[in-house]
Amino acid sequence: MSFPRYALMYYDTSNINNTWTLLNRYFILEKNENDIVRGTFLSDLWFNYKIQEDSDIYFMILFIENRKQYNFIINLLGSNQIINENHLPNINNIPINTKFAKSFILTKEKIKNTYGEMEEKKKNSHRIALYQDNCIFNIEMMKHDSCYTIGLPNFEIN
């Protein structure tokens, strides 16, 4: 595995394990003439996650510079140190020393509203945009039969 990389982590409050997951795929980056950095997953096979209506899903995009930092993050995730006493991810106090880390929450209210909008418009997919500072995180909500998934994450840094 070569470095540096932009990685995606997620945490689902409906997951009984109460753990963050660091995906083993990394964003493919491009930079345009206006110095806007874009990261995308090339396939929904890289991340396609079944969602529950009653959960909040936390996401974090972080910059991993080298193998040492990657190993530190893996050890940190294994120890559940970034979960607070309420068993929720503590996205505002992530103890990861990195040049870039942005966090986003796909709330149960946003999920429920998106379900309703998709049903009303008879659409099988809907793009959701979440924001933090100068970073936009997009994720696609898709309907397959009676289940809903999220996938095809991408981000843009201005």
- The three-state (H, E, C) secondary structure of 74-138, written as one string: HHHHHCCCCECCCCCECHHHCCCCCCCEEEEEECHHHHHHHHHHHHHHCCCEEEEEEEECCEEEE
Tokens (6 digits) for 58: 């936390």
Domains: count for the chain: 1
pLDDT of 34 reads: 81
Pairwise CA distance, residues 39 & 41, whole Å: 7
Per this entry, what is the length of the chain?
158
pLDDT of 149 reads: 93
- CA 126 from centroid of its chain's CA atoms: 16
Pairwise CA distance, residues 150 & 55, whole Å: 13
pLDDT of 68 reads: 85
DSSP designation for 68:
H
H or E segment and range at residue 70: helix 67-78
* Structural domain boundaries, residue 128: 5-157
Consecutive 10-residue averages of pLDDT for the chain (158 residues): 82 78 88 84 85 87 86 71 55 62 90 93 95 93 91 92
Q: Determine the residue type at 124.
A: N
pLDDT of 96 reads: 60
Pairwise CA distance, residues 16 & 75, whole Å: 20
pLDDT of 24 reads: 86
Tokens (6 digits) for 93: 């106090």
pLDDT of 85 reads: 55
pLDDT of 86 reads: 56
DSSP designation for 7:
E
pLDDT of 78 reads: 65
